[in-house]
């Protein structure tokens, strides 16, 4: 993943092949997945008052996710990500954050955040100063209401320049539940391997969830480690959204009171669905897949 | 297919589920397919100066199709079609034509049209007065250069109120090559069945091409009828674009000088690809599929 300015994004887009447009965004994908599995979810994030912003708002509301953040009124367009996917399902993400990185602390709906037992934050907004302050403010609101806070590392690039700030947030107990994939966890901790990263992180967060692609996933909670295998996929088409949907399945099962193994398995089912087609939002009926 | 005004389209969109956006448009899909099979193609049609218009222009140019029509400067947005697809691949098309139906005769590039041995027209633009006049003007330019004219009936609704004008155009020998599906041909001619429609149309156009879905396709040319079976498809997902891509394959093979049976077969291959996934533009490598 790399961040691009508007001009570089236009240049890349001109050189790209024809494409398909779908709504995305890490936390938005997770909320979409939770709603698709019958959970209640709201999304806080900022689009612009343009066609792509309208499409984003339509799609997430159509899934039953509450989305009330007002569009940004400025020259900045709705954020977009130009994603190039190879035939073997590897992807390059070129993100032009646009309005999304202008999310201000005063755009937060305090009553909404207080009403949610769990607040989920995405690492993509942890890089730039303004949205990071907004994340911190959201955590304050959630904490003051006694709610839990989950955080997904998103991409290591978002944390790279902010490792100290992020470690500080973890160290002061700001995160109850941390999602990361293997590479992100290793990079964040500077460990030599997965086990090293697990040792470094497991004491810092009450619940640690690590995804490992085809190697499955694991959780550390209450001092116990639970591993699950990956859900088999006929053909991996595009891994975009795998982590987001894993988090969706995990959280949907968790909020229903299921045990940690079932939380991990449900995450794997949702991730398997989203990597079997292009786009980072589920197409198949996730609730039905989980039931089966 | 039904035409919707902006308010009705917004109302329907609000009630729709989350969606995926792809470039489309009947003649544009055909040109995209021709380019994908290595042919040279240009598209004439009008978008607005908005995000969806930019995406349309990007996609068709990225496929190698020349597209130089200036965006419409007005309040009207780029045309869009809200397509609802059922699990058994039936679809309802709700078209909000926007800028596309404002294509004026003076927007045509005469030199471009004169340079093309074949001009292809879509029936969707035959309904309203202004774009119909533009079609007639394009035919005049092509005819004066000694070029051929192809026409696709698109949807019977476009022809319904214009049947006399359309018959007159056919009767005066304005069309060299007519594409239609079985239902459109029957409805246009008022015949009782396919054979009746064939009898009514085969004397009016030098080349008549009729698609019959899973029953294959046929052509009537030089007094001879050629039938081909449909290309087998593992799972029909969405029939949107089937006729457009059939025309693309047919024309690509025709322009390479292949015989009528191969023209029909190539059309079938392109149609089979596009109905095996969502969206009206090919995803797989059509040239490779044809080669195989």
**For the domain that residue A108 is a member of, what is the CATH number?**
3.40.1190.20
pLDDT grade, residue A163 (50/70/90)? confident
pTM of the entire predicted model? 0.93
pLDDT digits (tens, 9 = 90+) for A223-280: 999 999 999 999 999 999 999 999 999 999 999 999 999 999 999 999 999 999 999 9
Instruction: Show residues of chain B in contact with A52, CB under 8 Å.
Output: 51
On whether the CB atoms of residues B181 and B194 are closer than 8 A, the answer is no
CB neighbourhood size of B149 (10 A): 21
On whether the CB atoms of residues A272 and A230 are closer than 8 A, the answer is yes
* Cα radius of gyration rounded to whole Å, chain A: 18
The mean per-residue pLDDT over the stretch A53-65 comes to: 97
Considering only the beta carbons, identify the residue of A17, A20, A77 that sits closest to B22. Answer: A20
What pLDDT is recorded for position B127? Answer: 87
Mode of pairing for the β-strands spanning B80-85 and B91-96: antiparallel
Q: Report the C-alpha gap between A229 and A214 in whole angstroms.
A: 8
Considering only the beta carbons, identify the residue of A13, A14, A18 that sits closest to B63. Answer: A18
Asked, for residue B62, whether it belongs to a domain, the answer is yes
What's the number of domains chain B is made of?
A: 1
pLDDT digits (tens, 9 = 90+) for B116-173: 999 999 999 998 999 999 999 999 999 999 999 999 987 766 666 777 788 888 888 8
Indicate if the pLDDT at residue A160 is higher than 70: no
Considering only the beta carbons, identify the residue of B18, B32, B55 that sits closest to A21. Answer: B55
What pLDDT is recorded for position A279? Answer: 93
pLDDT grade, residue A56 (50/70/90)? very high
CA A199, A201, A206, A207 torsion: positive or negative? Answer: negative
Number of Cβ pairs < 8 A linking chain A and chain B: 56
CB contact under 8 A, B20 and A279: yes
Asked, for residue B2, whether it belongs to a domain, the answer is no
Give the long-range contacts of residues A137-145, CB within 8 A, separation 24 or more.
A137/A105, A137/A108, A138/A44, A138/A108, A138/A113, A139/A174, A141/A108, A141/A110, A141/A113, A141/A114, A142/A113, A142/A114, A142/A116, A143/A174, A144/A114, A145/A113, A145/A114
Query: Which residue of A16, A18, A286 is the best one to mutate when testing the B interface, meaning the one whose CB has the most B CBs within 10 A?
Result: A18
What pLDDT is recorded for position A9? Answer: 92
pLDDT digits (tens, 9 = 90+) for A69-98: 999 999 999 999 999 999 998 889 999 999
- Alpha carbon of A13: minimum distance to chain B alpha carbons (Å): 8
Asked, for residue B77, whether it belongs to a domain, the answer is no
Nearest to B20 by CA among B82, B63, B92: B82
Indicate if the pLDDT at residue B190 is higher than 70: yes
Indicate if the pLDDT at residue A171 is higher than 90: no
Instruction: Show residues of chain B in contact with A285, CB under 8 Å.
Output: none
Query: Which residue of B33, B51, B282 is the best one to mutate when testing the A interface, meaning the one whose CB has the most A CBs within 10 A?
Result: B51
Asked, for residue B270, whether it belongs to a domain, the answer is yes
pLDDT grade, residue A6 (50/70/90)? confident
Give the phi and the psi of residue A162 in degrees, each rounded to 5: -125, 25
- Alpha carbon of A60: minimum distance to chain B alpha carbons (Å): 7
Q: Report the C-alpha gap between A23 and A168 in whole angstroms.
A: 33
What pLDDT is recorded for position B66? Answer: 98
What pLDDT is recorded for position B156? Answer: 63
| pLDDT above 70 coverage of chain B, percent | 98
- Alpha carbon of B16: minimum distance to chain A alpha carbons (Å): 7
Contacts of B55 (CB under 8 A, 6+ apart): A19, A21, B21, B23
What pLDDT is recorded for position B206? Answer: 96
Number of H helices, E strands in chain A: 12, 11
Asked, for residue A291, whether it belongs to a domain, the answer is no
CB contact under 8 A, B63 and A21: no
pLDDT digits (tens, 9 = 90+) for A188-221: 888 999 999 999 999 899 999 999 999 999 999 9
Give, as one character, the DSSP assignment of residue B108. S
Considering only the beta carbons, identify the residue of A16, A51, A279 that sits closest to B52. Answer: A51
On whether the CB atoms of residues B275 and B91 are closer than 8 A, the answer is no
The mean per-residue pLDDT over the stretch B257-265 comes to: 98
Q: Which tokens go with B265? A: 């077969």
The mean per-residue pLDDT over the stretch B257-285 comes to: 96
What pLDDT is recorded for position A159? Answer: 66
Nearest CA in chain A to B22: A20
Asked, for residue B164, whether it belongs to a domain, the answer is yes
Q: Report the C-alpha gap between B72 and B104 in whole angstroms.
A: 10
**What pairs with residue A80 in β-bridges?**
A96
Nearest CA in chain B to A56: B18
Instruction: Show residues of chain A in contact with B18, CB under 8 Å.
Output: 23, 32, 58-60, 62-63, 281
ipTM value:
0.89
Q: Which domain holds residue A43?
A: 2-285
On the CB side of A223, CA atoms within 13 Å amount to 0
pLDDT digits (tens, 9 = 90+) for A174-183: 899 999 999 9
Residues of A with CB under 8 A from a CB of B: 13-14, 16-23, 32, 50-52, 55, 58-60, 62-63, 77, 279, 281
Residues of B with CB under 8 A from a CB of A: 13-14, 16-23, 32, 50-52, 55, 58-60, 62-63, 77, 279, 281
H or E stretch including A136?
Answer: helix A129-144
On the CB side of B11, CA atoms within 13 Å amount to 5
Instruction: Show residues of chain A in contact with B79, CB under 8 Å.
Output: none
pLDDT grade, residue A172 (50/70/90)? confident
CB contact under 8 A, B58 and A14: yes
What pLDDT is recorded for position B160? Answer: 66
pLDDT grade, residue B83 (50/70/90)? very high
Q: Report the C-alpha gap between A150 and A157 in whole angstroms.
A: 19
Considering only the beta carbons, identify the residue of B19, B22, B23 that sits closest to A59. Answer: B19
Instruction: Show residues of chain B in contact with A55, CB under 8 Å.
Output: 19, 21
């Amino acid at each position: 993943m790399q961040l691009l300015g508007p001009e570089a994004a236009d240049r890349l887009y001109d050189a790209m092949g024809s494409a398909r447009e779908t709504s995305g965004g890490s936390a938005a994908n997770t909320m979409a997945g939770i709603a698709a599995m019958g959970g209640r979810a709201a999304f806080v994030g900022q689009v612009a008052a343009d066609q792509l912003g309208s499409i984003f708002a339509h799609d997430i509301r159509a899934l039953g996710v509450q989305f009330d953040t007002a569009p940004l009124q400025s020259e900045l367009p709705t954020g977009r990500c130009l994603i190039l996917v190879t035939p073997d399902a590897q992807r390059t993400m070129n993100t032009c954050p646009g309005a999304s990185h202008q999310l201000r602390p005063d755009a937060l709906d305090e009553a909404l955040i207080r009403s949610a037992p769990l607040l989920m934050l995405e690492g993509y907004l942890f890089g730039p100063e303004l949205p990071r302050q907004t994340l911190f403010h959201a955590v304050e609101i959630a904490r003051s209401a006694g709610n839990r806070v989950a955080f997904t590392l998103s991409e290591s690039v978002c944390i790279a320049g902010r490792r100290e700030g992020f470690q500080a947030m973890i160290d002061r107990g700001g995160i109850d539940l941390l999602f990361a994939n293997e590479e992100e966890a290793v990079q964040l901790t500077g460990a030599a391997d997965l086990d090293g990263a697990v040792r470094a992180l497991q004491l810092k967060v009450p619940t640690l969830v690590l995804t490992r692609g085809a190697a499955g996933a694991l959780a550390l909670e209450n001092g116990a480690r639970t591993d699950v295998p990956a859900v088999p996929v006929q053909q991996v088409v595009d891994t975009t959204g795998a982590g987001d949907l894993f988090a969706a399945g995990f959280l949907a099962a968790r909020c229903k009171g299921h045990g940690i193994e079932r939380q991990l398995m449900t995450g794997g089912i949702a991730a398997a669905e989203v990597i079997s087609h292009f786009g980072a939002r589920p197409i198949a009926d996730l609730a039905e897949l989980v039931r089966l």
